[in-house]
């Protein structure tokens, strides 16, 4: 357990430095979890409030009273949220008037190196 978290448990107090250290530790743990699970997902989805990994994305632009909004449905998702205890979610629905960015993640087999490991003509650039 991080030093700041131990301090909170022991006496219930927290300084600004303890809080900053605790939040930094939590962000680092979240990043490590992201790094471990990103290969399990097909898409990265970013909204104004959250960042998701998902295996199925359905994004629909809709209109109501002259306003355009986005209706986003994700299945088999992971949510980037440091304060959330359960980050794996079966279904997510987001309604937003803000931008939504959806990117398909490359598959590991899409990023293969040549069998000989060489870089072809690029290997001669240093000569």
> pLDDT digits over 47-104, tens only?
999 999 999 999 999 999 999 999 999 999 999 998 888 899 999 999 999 999 999 9
Round to whole Å and give the CA distance between 98 and 45: 13
Q: How many residues does the chain have?
A: 127
The pLDDT score that the predictor gives to residue 53 is 97
Tokens read off for 28: 């680092």
Return the DSSP state at 82.
T
Burial 82-113 (b: 16+ CB within 10 A, else e): eeeeebeeeebebeeeeebebeebeeeeeeee
């Amino acid at each position: 357990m991080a030093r700041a978290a131990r301090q909170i448990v022991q006496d219930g107090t927290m300084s600004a430095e303890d809080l900053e250290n605790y939040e930094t530790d939590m962000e680092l743990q979240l990043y490590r979890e992201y790094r471990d699970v990103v290969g399990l997902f097909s898409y990265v989805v970013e909204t104004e409030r959250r960042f998701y990994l998902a295996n199925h994305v359905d994004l629909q632009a809709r209109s109501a009273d002259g306003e355009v909004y986005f209706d986003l449905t994700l299945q088999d998702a992971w949510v980037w949220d440091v304060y959330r205890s359960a980050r794996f979610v079966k279904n997510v629905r987001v309604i937003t008037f803000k931008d939504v960015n959806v990117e398909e993640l490359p598959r590991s087999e899409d990023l293969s190196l040549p069998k000989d490991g060489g870089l072809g003509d690029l290997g001669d650039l240093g000569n």
